[in-house]
């Protein structure tokens, strides 16, 4: 068990780096153990008791051979037999107590790390998630967290237990026969040599194995999701994906076999070293017994202590590999926890008791460059803001910024339609109001207060968003609607559903509000999901509504129902609407035309048509036809 503990820890780190331990890392790691210091003291106490009791059986055997049997003392034989049974029984009970304490420590640390990681990830901006694989986040929250707790619970306990076992065993062995003990310890360098020769190979293989497992898990996460499975089936790529999975799973298999073989060779080497030490000790002990220097009972006791000594010595010889590799998981967890919040909470948050809904863009500049670097891996965002300089035929446009000098204001109760070609920056512009991203320069204000200074609670309650792609949890209709207002009554939920033209549909279902919508809402049609999203926003009742209409892909009946619901919620609230339909543009109080990340025109429909600019061109080529602007 002691030897195995040196290879239970795993390594997940960049292959060019060698694990290291420094005071800052250790201090931070030990900080997670502080809440459990009482349990750690208890564990140390059980280690002392268990190790001490484990030293008793060889002494009992020595007494049996040297005293009880030669003296024909049956009473002593009985007492020794009873003691032989009592020692493992007591050790077993104390071992259960130790296991309970270590489990409390380990599971507690897992809980603390997962909660801290999850809270930190929740605070990251949308840009972080667009540049990070979901499978990688799951790996950090699961495997890495479990590996991290092992550094404090399993590794700490193993090191403490092995160290005390070696010291205590050596003390007893020296008392029995110091010369044989010195001979037994003299082979320690051979343990160290074997450990160092194989330790690096095991670490390298484990790194490769964890990387291969991450690759395999990523493929599974992508292709076994509803969206991924749909794509695979539609393009007939099941065979290709199966081959891909087989290849990656095969790599994991081969590395697992390689790790097992290397470990087996290592244990064989250690076994030979142990056998050599035992054989030499036995030989010299036999010679000394023949000469009358030691008793047979002493030789038997020492042989038992040898097996109890070599295991912990092996583990301690490999202590650096074991401890540093177990700390790598902590380092990976800290990598995430140390990611700066690109949308940080305000130092002195402003709370608005009543939001009027005036939205002001004041010389807003924005680039996705900062958010690209905030993910767990380098993923380039391919969009307008990353194309470099583009020549539009009349001027040279620097597109390093997705938005450039945006300035306009939406008064409370006004509907402002955002119009422009695909990739002009309209969606990006709307993302800045609820702080899905933060501006690079300039400011976005609500009722005169910079959104970066508003409390997250105020911002969340003031701004409602209906996106092009509606996301629903794999839960009931009621749970998805109640997400906007946890305290809403059933009557309020159904009132919102009817206002969104989805109420009759819900009531027609056999299970009504208790109907499960499936993963991402795939059991519902596109129009039904859109109306669910609208009902959810109606329940939220925000002062500011951001709407990216997605009716162009719906059938005529669904589009009419969705549009009717939208018309109802646009009334009496400030609305920023990315326009796809002529009726939305005509009903808007103001139209803002965006092109290449800049506001190029503002006005009403009639004034912009008369101006003969970009809006007039879009009106003639797209709004008069079923084509979609974005």
Asked whether 559 and 525 are in contact (CB, 8 A), the reply is no
Q: What is the rounded average pLDDT for all residues in the chain?
A: 79
Tell me, what CATH number does 52's domain have? 1.20.1560.10
- Domain end call among 286, 303, 337: 337
Sign of the dihedral through C-alpha 16, 18, 24, 26: positive
- What pLDDT, on a 0 to 100 scale, did the predictor assign at position 559? 67
Residue 108 in any domain: the answer is: yes
| Residue with more model confidence, 160 or 406 | 406
- What pLDDT, on a 0 to 100 scale, did the predictor assign at position 554? 58
Q: pLDDT-based confidence at 114, cuts 50/70/90? A: confident
Q: Are both 380 and 331 inside the same structural domain?
A: no
Q: pLDDT-based confidence at 7, cuts 50/70/90? A: very low
Residues 382-422: tens digit of each pLDDT: 333 333 333 333 333 344 788 999 999 999 999 999 999 88
- Residue 622: pLDDT over 90: no
Q: Are both 222 and 333 inside the same structural domain?
A: yes
Residue 486 in any domain: the answer is: no
Helix (H) or strand (E) holding 388: none
Average pLDDT over residues 511-535: 83
Q: Are both 51 and 103 inside the same structural domain?
A: yes
- Domain end call among 337, 369, 389: 337
- Residue 6: pLDDT over 70: no
Question: DSSP labels for 250-273?
Answer: HHHHHHHHHHHHHHHHHHHHHHHH
Residue 373 in any domain: the answer is: yes
pTM for the whole structure: 0.72
Domain of 414 in residue numbering reads as 360-472+540-623
Q: Are both 253 and 311 inside the same structural domain?
A: yes
Tell me, what CATH number does 562's domain have? 3.40.50.300
Residues 275-311: tens digit of each pLDDT: 777 788 778 888 888 888 888 888 888 877 887 787 7
Q: Are both 309 and 404 inside the same structural domain?
A: no
Q: Are both 325 and 431 inside the same structural domain?
A: no
Q: Which of 409, 372, 482 is nearest to 125 (CA)?
A: 372
Asked whether 363 and 470 are in contact (CB, 8 A), the reply is no
Enumerate residues 6+ apart whose C-beta is below 8 A from 199: 318, 321
| Residue with more model confidence, 305 or 629 | 305
Question: DSSP labels for 127-184?
Answer: HHHHTS-HHHHHHIIIIIHHHHHHHHTHHHHHHHHHHHHHHHHHHHHHHH-HHHHHHH
| Residue with more model confidence, 506 or 6 | 506
- Residue 561: pLDDT over 80: no
Is residue 18 exposed (0-12), middle (13-18) or buried (19+ Cβ within 10 Å)? exposed
Average pLDDT over residues 589-618: 93
Q: Measured between alpha carbons, how far is 591 from 419 in angstroms, rounded to an integer?
A: 7
Q: Which structure tokens are listed for 31?
A: 């900080």
Q: Which of 317, 307, 316 is nearest to 277 (CA)?
A: 307
- Residue 286: Cβ within 10 Å count: 13
- What pLDDT, on a 0 to 100 scale, did the predictor assign at position 59? 85
Residues 416-445: tens digit of each pLDDT: 999 998 888 999 999 999 998 999 999 999
Q: Are both 163 and 211 inside the same structural domain?
A: yes
Q: Measured between alpha carbons, how far is 537 from 543 in angstroms, rounded to an integer?
A: 11
> How big is the CA angle at 211 (ends 205 and 215), to the nearest 5 degrees?
140
Give me the number of domains the chain comprises.
2
How many percent of the chain have pLDDT more than 90?
A: 20
Residue 132 in any domain: the answer is: yes
- What pLDDT, on a 0 to 100 scale, did the predictor assign at position 318? 64
Q: Mean pLDDT check: name the lowest of 108-122, 520-534, 557-571.
A: 557-571
Q: Mean pLDDT check: name the lowest of 54-63, 146-155, 577-586.
A: 146-155
- Residue 257: pLDDT over 70: yes
Q: Are both 305 and 405 inside the same structural domain?
A: no
Residue 506 in any domain: the answer is: no
Q: Are both 166 and 79 inside the same structural domain?
A: yes
Q: Measured between alpha carbons, how far is 551 from 626 in angstroms, rounded to an integer?
A: 11
Q: Are both 89 and 198 inside the same structural domain?
A: yes
Average pLDDT over residues 129-154: 74
Residue 596 in any domain: the answer is: yes
- What pLDDT, on a 0 to 100 scale, did the predictor assign at position 458? 92
Residue 562 in any domain: the answer is: yes
| Residue with more model confidence, 3 or 286 | 286
Most confident of 3-7, 28-32, 402-406: 402-406
Q: Are both 417 and 294 inside the same structural domain?
A: no
Q: Are both 333 and 432 inside the same structural domain?
A: no
Q: Which structure tokens are listed for 375?
A: 């993910």
Q: Which residues of 148-186 are buried (b: 16+ CB within 10 A; e: fewer)?
A: bbbbbbbbbbbbbbbbbbbebbbebbeebbeebbebbbe
- What pLDDT, on a 0 to 100 scale, did the predictor assign at position 362? 96
Three-class DSSP labels, 392-453: CCCCEEECCCCEEEEEEEECCCCEEEEECCCCCCHHHHHHCCCCCCCCCEEEEEECCEEHHH
Q: Measured between alpha carbons, how far is 281 from 125 in angstroms, rounded to an integer?
A: 65
Q: Three-state SS for 88? A: helix
Q: Which structure tokens are listed for 476?
A: 């009931």
- Residue 515: pLDDT over 80: yes
Q: Measured between alpha carbons, how far is 360 from 274 in angstroms, rounded to an integer?
A: 77
Residue 505 in any domain: the answer is: no
Q: Three-state SS for 591? A: strand
Tokens 């007893």 belong to residue: 172
Q: Which structure tokens are listed for 544?
A: 């500011």
> How big is the CA angle at 235 (ends 231 and 237), to the nearest 5 degrees?
90
- Residue 473: pLDDT over 80: yes
Most confident of 13-22, 200-209, 399-408, 590-599: 590-599
Residues 337-354: tens digit of each pLDDT: 888 888 888 989 999 988
Strands 463-466 and 544-548: parallel
């Amino acid at each position: 068990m002691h030897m195995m503990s040196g290879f239970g820890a795993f390594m997940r780190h960049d292959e060019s780096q060698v694990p290291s331990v420094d005071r800052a890392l250790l201090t931070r790691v030990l900080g997670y153990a502080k809440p459990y210091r009482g349990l750690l003291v208890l564990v140390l106490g059980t280690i002392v008791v268990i190790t001490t009791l484990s030293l008793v059986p060889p002494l009992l055997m020595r007494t049996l051979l040297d005293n009880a049997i030669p003296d024909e003392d049956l009473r002593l034989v009985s007492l020794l037999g009873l003691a032989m049974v009592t020692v493992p029984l007591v050790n077993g009970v104390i071992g259960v107590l130790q296991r309970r304490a270590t489990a409390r420590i380990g599971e507690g640390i897992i809980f603390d790390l997962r909660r801290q990681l999850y809270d930190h990830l929740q605070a990251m901006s949308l840009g972080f998630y667009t540049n990070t694989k979901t499978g990688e986040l799951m790996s950090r929250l699961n495997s890495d967290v479990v590996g991290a707790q092992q550094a404090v619970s399993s590794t700490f306990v193993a090191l403490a237990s092995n160290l005390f076992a070696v010291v205590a065993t050596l003390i007893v062995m020296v008392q029995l026969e110091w010369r044989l003990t010195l001979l037994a310890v003299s082979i320690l360098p051979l343990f160290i040599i074997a450990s160092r020769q194989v330790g690096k190979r095991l670490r390298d293989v484990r790194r490769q194995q964890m990387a291969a497992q991450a690759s395999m898990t990523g493929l599974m996460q992508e292709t076994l999701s509803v969206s991924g499975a749909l794509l695979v089936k539609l393009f007939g790529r099941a065979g290709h994906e199966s081959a891909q999975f087989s290849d990656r799973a095969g790599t994991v298999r081969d590395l697992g076999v390689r790790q097992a073989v290397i470990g087996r060779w290592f244990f064989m080497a250690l076994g030979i070293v142990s056998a050599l030490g035992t054989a030499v000790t036995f030989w010299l002990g036999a010679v000394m017994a023949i000469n009358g220097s030691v008793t047979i009972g002493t030789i038997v006791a020492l042989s038992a202590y040898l097996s109890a000594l070599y295991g912990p010595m092996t583990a301690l010889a490999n202590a650096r590999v074991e401890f540093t590799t177990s700390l790598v998981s902590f380092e990976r967890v800290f990598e995430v926890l140390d990611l700066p919040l690109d949308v940080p909470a305000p130092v002195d948050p402003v709370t608005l008791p009543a939001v009027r809904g005036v939205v002001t863009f004041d010389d807003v500049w924005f680039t996705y460059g900062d958010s690209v670097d905030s993910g767990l891996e380098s993923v380039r965002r391919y969009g307008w803001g990353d194309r470099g300089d583009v020549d539009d035929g009349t001027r040279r446009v620097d597109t390093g910024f997705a938005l450039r000098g945006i300035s306009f204001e939406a008064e409370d109760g006004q509907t402002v339609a955002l119009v422009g070609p695909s990739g002009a920056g309209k969606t990006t512009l709307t993302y800045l109001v609820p702080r899905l991203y933060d501006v690079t320069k300039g400011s976005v204000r609500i009722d005169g207060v910079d959104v970066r200074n508003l409390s997250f609670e105020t911002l969340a309650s003031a701004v409602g968003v209906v996106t092009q792609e509606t996301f629903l949890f794999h839960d009931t209709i009621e749970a998805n609607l109640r997400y906007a207002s946890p305290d809403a009554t059933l009557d309020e939920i159904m009132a919102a559903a009817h206002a969104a033209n989805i109420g009759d549909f819900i009531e027609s279902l056999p299970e009504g509000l208790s109907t499960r919508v499936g993963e991402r809402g795939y059991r519902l049609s596109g129009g039904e999901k859109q109306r669910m999203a609208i009902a959810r926003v109606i329940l939220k009742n925000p002062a500011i509504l951001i709407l990216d209409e997605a009716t162009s892909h719906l059938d005529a009946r669904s589009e009419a129902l969705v549009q009717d619901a939208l018309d109802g919620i646009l009334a009496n609230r400030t609305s920023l609407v990315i326009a796809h339909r002529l009726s939305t543009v005509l009903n808007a109080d103001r139209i803002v035309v965006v092109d290449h990340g800049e506001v190029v025109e503002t006005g009403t429909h009639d004034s912009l048509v008369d101006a003969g600019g970009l809006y007039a061109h879009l009106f003639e080529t797209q709004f008069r036809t079923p084509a979609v602007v974005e």
